[in-house]
Amino acid sequence: MSRLGTALVASLAVLAGGLVISPAAAADRWAVPASASITIKGHGYGHGRGMSQYGAEGAAREGLTWRQITDFYYPGTTVGRARGTIDVHVSADTTDDLVVVPRSGLVVHDLGAGKSWPLPERDTTRWRVIWLDGANRVQWLGNRWRTWRTLAGSGAFSAGTEPVTLVTPGGTRAYRGRVSALPLSGGRVTVNTVRLEYYLRGVVPLEMPALWSPEAVRSQAVAARTYAAYERAHPRSSAFDVYDTTQSQVYGGVAAEHPASDAAIRATRRRVLRHDGAPAFTQFSSSNGGWSVAGSLPYQQARADAYDGWSGNPNRSWSVTVTDRRLESTWPALGNLRRIVVVRRDGNGQWNGRVASLRLVGSKNTVTVTGDTMRSMLGLKSTWVTFRVG
């Protein structure tokens, strides 16, 4: 989740949690003359709920352990354990067949019949499973594709404890566990079924720098493991539990693995955070800017965060400059932009906190948008912003 949830989910989480949204201060309005430049100053990067990743690093630099870090960002949770496998959608494979590179120990599985067969080590450059003439067929490539076996159900490849190299339109990618071609919504998706601990090896170093302080990386491992366990209990579809993108957590398979993050995963093996007997929804984002955001769950609390402010955090405070024309082209119904008015904020921190609602007054129309929509449309790091017109 280098860590962006959708605007809709964010808005629902805030409303469901009963968060008190404060009216904006009287000074939260700016006249916009023609051809004006607008400086947007802000704090944080991401939705701000749960753990700040830069905050976790700041806390680790002050000597906090991973348990103390997760206690701070997910108050009221307890430590439990999770094991088993997780089914991951492989977004890079957009083809209609499932193609892998031959290797020793490669096995094909018939998921319909519950049978498996070792694949012969013959002179072939590719193996694949493809839906052809009403059945899934296992084929090998020599001078052309030839059928080796017909399956009763969906097909999958594995290679024991070794990775399977998947061929995608963009190249090859290695994955631990099993890769399958599964039906979904009249089409086919590629799914990597992998042990939870192996999955984390492809997630943690893509979500947090592996060479950050060990306790920070351990806290990331626990948050990522818990997030995966939560999503496994609330699967994204009938074919898979999680996406391999920021829709869930970024997952890169074997190529993403790093010895330092592997060590953090081993040090926290199977540890997850629980609340009311189930895995917690451990959202995290790059930086909360010094104040976390409340959500709909008891452990998603708004609170000041001094750890986020350590000197190495480039996202604690930032600014960008846009023109009035940029806003006029983004919301063309405005005509000429005349005024920016912040209607509501969340009430926490400088400027009275994050923007919940914004009104843009133009020569033709007035447009009211949520803070999340503003952030998305303008490419801002967060909704905790103020404006200066010059």
In a shared domain, residues 244 and 185? no
* Residue 188 included in any domain: yes
DSSP 8-state secondary structure symbol assigned to residue 287: B
Low-confidence ranges of the chain (pLDDT < 50): 3-20
Contact yes or no for 86/77 (Cβ under 8 A): no
In a shared domain, residues 150 and 251? no
Q: What is the pLDDT of residue 122?
A: 81
Question: Helix, strand, or coil here: 297?
Answer: coil
In a shared domain, residues 79 and 215? yes
Q: What is the pLDDT of residue 1?
A: 55
In a shared domain, residues 367 and 325? yes
* Residue 301 included in any domain: no
In a shared domain, residues 212 and 358? no
In a shared domain, residues 78 and 208? yes
Of 144, 165, 196, the one marking the end of a domain is 196
In a shared domain, residues 202 and 275? yes
Q: What is the pLDDT of residue 14?
A: 36
Q: How many CB atoms lie within 10 A of CB 255?
A: 12
Token reading at 265 = 């995963």
* Residue 1 included in any domain: no
DSSP 8-state secondary structure symbol assigned to residue 14: H
Q: What is the pLDDT of residue 19?
A: 47
In a shared domain, residues 80 and 131? no
Question: What pairs with residue 273 in β-bridges?
Answer: 79
Q: What is the pLDDT of residue 21?
A: 57
Contact yes or no for 24/345 (Cβ under 8 A): yes
* Residue 135 included in any domain: yes
Question: What pairs with residue 167 in β-bridges?
Answer: 99, 172
* Residue 306 included in any domain: no
In a shared domain, residues 152 and 75? no
**Count of the separate structural domains present in the chain:** 3
In a shared domain, residues 152 and 97? yes
Identify the domain containing residue 252 by its residue range: 56-84+197-294
How far apart, in whole angstroms, are the C-alpha atoms of residue 366 and residue 29?
14
In a shared domain, residues 43 and 93? no
How far apart, in whole angstroms, are the C-alpha atoms of residue 104 and residue 221?
32
* Residue 2 included in any domain: no
Token reading at 238 = 């009938």
* Residue 300 included in any domain: no
* Residue 307 included in any domain: no
Of 196, 230, 249, the one marking the end of a domain is 196
Of 294, 326, 344, the one marking the end of a domain is 294
In a shared domain, residues 201 and 68? yes
The closest alpha carbon to 195, from 94, 257, 270, belongs to: 270
Give the pTM: 0.91
